Amino acid sequence: MLNENDKKNLALVAQLRASGMQDNSIIEFLDFGAGSPEDKRSEEEMAKGKRVQTTVGKLSSIGLKNEWSEWIYTLIKERKPKVVLELGTCCGFSSITMALANSDTKVYTIEGAKEIAAVAAENIKKAGCENITQIVGRFADVLDKTLAGIAPIDFAFIDGHHDRDATVKYYRQILPFMAKGSVMAFDDISWSDGMKEAWEMITAEAGADKCEHLGKIGICHID
Backbone angles phi, psi at 172, to 5 degrees: -65, -35
Alpha-carbon distance of 216 to 66, in angstroms, equals: 13
Is the pLDDT reported for residue 40 higher than 80?
A: no
Question: Buried b vs exposed e over 156-172: b needs ≥16 C-beta within 10 Å?
Answer: bbbbbbbbbebbbbbbe
SS (H, E, C) 78-91: HHCCCEEEEECCCC
Alpha-carbon distance of 191 to 53, in angstroms, equals: 21
Q: What is the mean pLDDT of residues 33-38?
A: 58
CA angle 22, 67, 211 (to 5 degrees): 125
Identify the pLDDT of residue 47: 65
Backbone angles phi, psi at 55, to 5 degrees: -120, 155
Is the pLDDT reported for residue 134 higher than 70?
A: yes
Q: What is the mean pLDDT of residues 13-21?
A: 98
Q: Domains of the chain by range and CATH?
A: 60-221 (3.40.50.150)
Backbone angles phi, psi at 140, to 5 degrees: -60, -25
The CA-to-CA distance between both ends of the chain, in Å, stands at: 27
Alpha-carbon distance of 20 to 208, in angstroms, equals: 39
Is the pLDDT reported for residue 46 higher than 80?
A: no
> Is residue 84 a contact partner of residue 117, using CB atoms and an 8 Å limit?
no
Q: What is the mean pLDDT of residues 37-60?
A: 76
Identify the pLDDT of residue 195: 92
Q: Which of 47, 223, 69 shows the shortest CA–CA distance to 157?
A: 69
Query: Is residue 31 very low, low, confident or very high in pLDDT (cuts 50, 70, 90)?
Result: confident
Identify the pLDDT of residue 142: 97
Is the pLDDT reported for residue 185 higher than 80?
A: yes
Share of the chain above pLDDT 90, in %: 85
> Is residue 41 a contact partner of residue 162, using CB atoms and an 8 Å limit?
no
Is the pLDDT reported for residue 42 higher than 90?
A: no
Is the pLDDT reported for residue 186 higher than 90?
A: yes
pTM for this predicted structure: 0.92
Diameter of the chain by CA atoms? 48
